[in-house]
Structure 1
């Protein structure tokens, strides 16, 4: 179970920016806490969250789940959180990676999570063209010396942004998109010798939930309080069509969703994979994937033949 974590973006609620949600819709907070605690019971020891998931709601729920767990005092749970996305004085979304906001954000996350130290702190989706040559890591090193964080890095917007982080040598942790439909990290990142200096966290392992048995036969209908309702039509259709090209994964024990997690676990560059959870049923599916183990090589090769690449408009011009 050491390579399975859980993601908590889904626990932040709709999280509206203007009239558009940037989250996963309404969430039952009691059920969310139970799901986190079940994950702990099943051996999960890595939780990924962010201060912008529901303006701190997800971090708060994680803190409650840990504090209320019957073995909380003896559990060595790694917490990875993120900062940089906040609201300005007028309530508009903005990105702020300044030393002043860094300190403020870390202290606020520690309070919500009810922790003394953050195991991992990541910049949350900075622009791919972020100028790392002028970004000073000294404030992060000071936080390590102060005992407030143990390590730092970046949750990248895309693999191309992650490559720029590696080239700059910033931090030691990278959270990147990696799943059976989008495998660009294999060539863009992991073929580079610089990758050996980083710990990689695989995010979006279920391809935004499209690697789900239900969608193999019926089109999804997403609620209006969920960000997927507003996906561009061409991206939504590509994800749906490509997931259906992998319908053979649903014939495996555990079905296509468990196979999607197993696919991520099959790559040795991945330190931990963080499928999202909002229910105990999802936790059980992810845990089952770990027990089943990595996919056989012949299955991973079949995946690559069925979905050879991502759309051209997902790549730099």
Structure 2
């Protein structure tokens, strides 16, 4: 078992590029519907993780529900296999559960918390979870009556270093900050969805939190490929089941940012660069379904910062998210 406990992860990072591993859980079919990113074999998953670790990526994001624990197992195997010297920070999540009838639900009880931590530690082969997040609780979660003491007990026991929430939306993240729960928030941030800047950046509790930027490539819609092609996703890819209006909005607005494709690295690299250069974000966690995508993400992290003129142009091209993504008044 690897001993890795201390405090705030942002103080331990040498770079802001991390790796998301949702895709390493495979299709993850629940009641005939894919909850993952499609087939990927374990050898390829291991190559992706080992390449990331040996290339200096320190932050690995996973969850116990990604492939029903498969992603965590692959992360644990990579940590035992890779030849790396840097401090590695592993973030995992709990709370999404599979019910006896084959459907999914959520359980954030103390009993499930304790069982989940033990199971995740076993799969990861670690003595301590660097970052433990509640996995997508409802935005209207009852924080006033939710007891954080069990999480603090886990910190005191050395089983968890930091805890917080992976939020469904930025509005749920704001409510986490309002309640002062934990010290880590994971939230969507990319060139199409910049609400972190508007809603969280000036929050009075902002400095108490490390923010993890997820979905930096807009669920794959911020791809040079889709500037000229129509996307088609397999039946084992969760994007097949996205609402048409969401898919259409993402594609239409990604194409409004085609001017980023004219820069070195192309659209995807500069979209990633945009998220990486935001001082509000502690770490950015793009996924990768191949070793070449890991290298592409690393190359993007070494590009020069996007200038203010281009940031202004991005804001003018895509002023805001669609109204149906915003809470009803």
Alignment partner for residue 4 of structure 1, among 14, 17, 23?
Answer: 17
CA separation of 1:236/1:109 partners in 2, compared to 1, >3 Å: closer, same or farther? Answer: same
Q: Which residue of 1 aligns with 2:249?
A: 238
For the 8 Å contact 2:31–2:102, the answer to whether it is kept is no
Count of residues in Structure 1 that have an aligned counterpart in Structure 2: 315
Q: For residues 198-213 of structure 1, what are the structure 2 equivalents within 5 Å?
A: 198-213=209-224
Q: Which residue of 2 aligns with 1:281?
A: 292
For the 8 Å contact 2:184–2:211, the answer to whether it is kept is yes
CA–CA distance in 2 between the matches of 1:294 and 1:149?
Answer: 34
Matched, 1:49 2:62: yes
CA–CA distance in 2 between the matches of 1:88 and 1:293?
Answer: 47
CA–CA distance in 2 between the matches of 1:75 and 1:290?
Answer: 18
Q: Which residue of 2 aligns with 1:39?
A: 52
- The RMSD of aligned alpha carbons is 1.0
Q: How far 1:278 moved relative to its partner?
A: 2.0
CA–CA distance in 2 between the matches of 1:294 and 1:85?
Answer: 37
Q: For residues 141-220 of structure 1, what are the structure 2 equivalents within 5 Å?
A: 141-220=152-231
Q: Residue by residue, what CA displacement relative to the aligned partner does 1:17-74 show, whole Å, maximum 9, x if unpaired?
A: 2111111011121111111111112110000000000000100111111101123xx4
Q: How far 1:95 moved relative to its partner?
A: 0.2
Q: Which residue of 2 aligns with 1:62?
A: 75
Q: How far 1:298 moved relative to its partner?
A: 1.3
CA–CA distance in 2 between the matches of 1:89 and 1:312?
Answer: 37
Alignment partner for residue 18 of structure 1, among 21, 25, 31?
Answer: 31
For the 8 Å contact 1:265–1:293, the answer to whether it is kept is no
CA–CA distance in 1 between the matches of 2:201 and 2:83?
Answer: 40
Instruction: Give the 3-state SS of the residue equivalent to 1:52 in structure 2.
Output: coil
CA separation of 1:267/1:199 partners in 2, compared to 1, >3 Å: closer, same or farther? Answer: same
CA–CA distance in 1 between the matches of 2:202 and 2:117?
Answer: 33
CA–CA distance in 2 between the matches of 1:46 and 1:294?
Answer: 21
Q: Which residue of 2 aligns with 1:265?
A: 276
Instruction: Give the 3-state SS of the residue equivalent to 2:261 in structure 1.
Output: helix
Matched, 1:100 2:115: no
CA separation of 1:107/1:293 partners in 2, compared to 1, >3 Å: closer, same or farther? Answer: farther
Alignment partner for residue 226 of structure 1, among 225, 229, 237?
Answer: 237
Q: Residue by residue, what CA displacement relative to the aligned partner does 1:120-141 show, whole Å, maximum 9, x if unpaired?
A: 0000000000000011010001
CA–CA distance in 2 between the matches of 1:191 and 1:307?
Answer: 22
For the 8 Å contact 2:56–2:86, the answer to whether it is kept is no
CA–CA distance in 1 between the matches of 2:80 and 2:168?
Answer: 32
Q: Which residue of 2 aligns with 1:89?
A: 100
Q: Which residue of 1 aligns with 2:306?
A: 295
Q: Residue by residue, what CA displacement relative to the aligned partner does 1:121-180 show, whole Å, maximum 9, x if unpaired?
A: 000000000000011010001111111100000000000000000000000000000000
List runs of 5+ in structure 2 lacking aligned partners: 1-13
Matched, 1:128 2:139: yes
CA–CA distance in 1 between the matches of 2:303 and 2:182?
Answer: 33
List runs of 5+ in structure 1 lacking aligned partners: none
For the 8 Å contact 1:222–1:228, the answer to whether it is kept is yes
Q: How far 1:295 moved relative to its partner?
A: 1.5
Q: Which residue of 2 aligns with 1:116?
A: 127
